[in-house]
Amino acid sequence: MLPPTLSPTPLYHALTRSFTRIHRLGHLQSMAQWDQAANMPPRGNEARAAAMAEMAALMHRLRTDPQLGRELEGASSEALDDAQRANLREMRRQWNSATALPEALVERRSMATSRCEHAWRSQRQANDWAGFLPNLREVLQITRECAQRLSDHSGLAPYDALMDQFEPGMTSAVVQRVFGDVRQWLPGLIQQVMERQAMRTLLVPQGPFPLAAQRQLCERVMHLLSFDFQAGRLDVSAHPFSGGVPEDVRLTTRFREDDFLQSLMGTVHETGHGRYEQNLPRELLGQPVAEARSMAIHESQSLSYEMQLGGHPGFARLLSPMLVEAFGDQAAFMPENLHRLLTRVKPGYIRVDADEVTYPAHVIMRFEIERALVEGEIEAEDIPALWDTAMMDLLGLDTRGNFKDGPMQDVHWPEGLFGYFPCYSLGAMYAAQWFAAMRRAVPDLDARIEAGDLAVVFDWLRENIWLPASRWTTDELAGRASGETLNPAHFRAHLEARYLR
């Protein structure tokens, strides 16, 4: 590499160095976060929190260094190629996001969400909506302030400005159109699927399932899914997640002796996230253009693994002998029964436990409520009534008075994460769209998956999603990969093909 002073694009060159530096220091943050969840003993918490806050402040200073702003300004007139321009676009996006909010507001938000989230942990257990409400009101109030600032900065509507931080380019107009359509056909589809499934027999696996055997099983399945254990690990934490850095991905799960499917399929989900990270373009790591495209695209990878592959009859066939080896022979482990277990549809209160058919209902209602909250159309005290109505309309469930398993079940709002929920279902839709594209490219795709050849799937994802990373906008990425931008018809077709045929 040329020294910056001799580079024909000195400003761009200086920017790449600064972003590499931020990426390297971020590595230590990611590892400490993972360690906090997977290893840290309780009395280490206070010192860790202080260390993380110090590092966050330092990173914020680096990300908002006025020098960066000047270089971003000047670099656009340099002679950059298309890939460099894409990197510059992503740099500018990160810079805008880091500088849009004044530090005092970020601190107030951090204090309010810490307080709200901390209290929520016990209030949720106690079903204490009244206790939760004042904290949530404060978080909402600050969220609206942030949304307004971001809106002033970007010209987007306030809710759209929040969503843009997770899903650049997505607007609530699009989400409303897409979710509005799902709202029409989903309740009927759920009804139909449940009627069909009620008529078939289903054997439930009998535990206990020893934890050591579960762990081994999860690692075997991760191997099957081509997770690179030379560049990542599986560990245990209370709330499963995919963390670490692209070069060293740290997945977590949790085990229950009476049920292995939850941790196994959770692991399959996180493995999808992990393989995306492990296969980002290595030679560009450290540059914004080499980061995962967006939260919906990330979720489209975890759901390609957990739902598209996990619910495929071929997956049950691959898994069946592994279960027998892990836990001994049971009739419930026969491929056909296993496939039924992995595609069982049942409306329930809890989003994170939902199957792929009922899941969108949970997301749609959250989106409708949080958009109205941010735009000032409703207040925090209006949530329960709206929640109850939506749950009855969409899933036929009565949630009145059950705040714990109702609007208090998720950590997102207490944490001030508004605008994130849509990504879950957009991800499910993109995943269906990728598999539809794959079927066009590889006409015998299903036969090959049935025959245990998963590489055909991974190769397509690597080529079309993982390696492009943030080279294109999301719409461009989807267009290049599948010939069209987000098209939710593929999701509906997928559900009908899998559950009604």
Site for a second copy, rule CB under 8 A: 21, 24-25, 27-29, 31-32, 35, 39-44, 46-48, 50-51, 53-55, 58, 228-233, 245-248, 285
Using alpha carbons, select from 192, 206, 287 the residue that is nearest to residue 246. Answer: 287
User: Sign of torsion, CA 444 445 451 453?
Assistant: positive
78 counts as catalytic: no
Tell me the two tokens of residue 255.
């085990």
Distance CA 72, CA 20 (A): 15
Distance CA 480, CA 474 (A): 10
* Catalytic residue chosen out of the listed positions 71, 138, 167, 270: 270
Smallest distance from a second copy to CB 230, Å: 4
Can you list the positions of beta strands (E) in 210-289? 232-236, 242-245, 248-253
Tell me if the bond preceding 66 is cis, omega within 30° of 0: no
Distance CA 29, CA 226 (A): 27
Smallest distance from a second copy to CB 148, Å: 32
Distance CA 501, CA 499 (A): 6
Distance CA 399, CA 389 (A): 9
Name the DSSP letter for residue 234: E
Kindly write down the DSSP assignment for every residue of 407-475, as one continuous string: TTS-STTTTT--S-THHHHHHHHHHHHHHHHHHHHSTTHHHHHHTT--HHHHHHHIIIIITTTTSS-HH
> In the complex with a second copy, which residue's Cβ is closer, 19 or 120?
19
Distance CA 380, CA 373 (A): 7
Smallest distance from a second copy to CB 55, Å: 6
- Which whole-number Å values give the CA distances from 320 to 106, 198, 307, in the listed order? 50, 23, 17
Distance CA 395, CA 190 (A): 8
Smallest distance from a second copy to CB 372, Å: 40
Using alpha carbons, select from 357, 367, 350, 436 the residue that is nearest to residue 186. Answer: 357
Smallest distance from a second copy to CB 321, Å: 27
Amino acid code (one letter) for 304: S
Do 439 and 148 contact (CB within 8 A), yes or no? no
Tell me the two tokens of residue 410.
């998720």
Smallest distance from a second copy to CB 246, Å: 8
Smallest distance from a second copy to CB 25, Å: 6
Smallest distance from a second copy to CB 492, Å: 40
- Which whole-number Å values give the CA distances from 193 to 121, 202, 353, in the listed order? 35, 15, 18
Distance CA 415, CA 421 (A): 13
Instruction: Provide the annotated active-site residues.
Output: 270
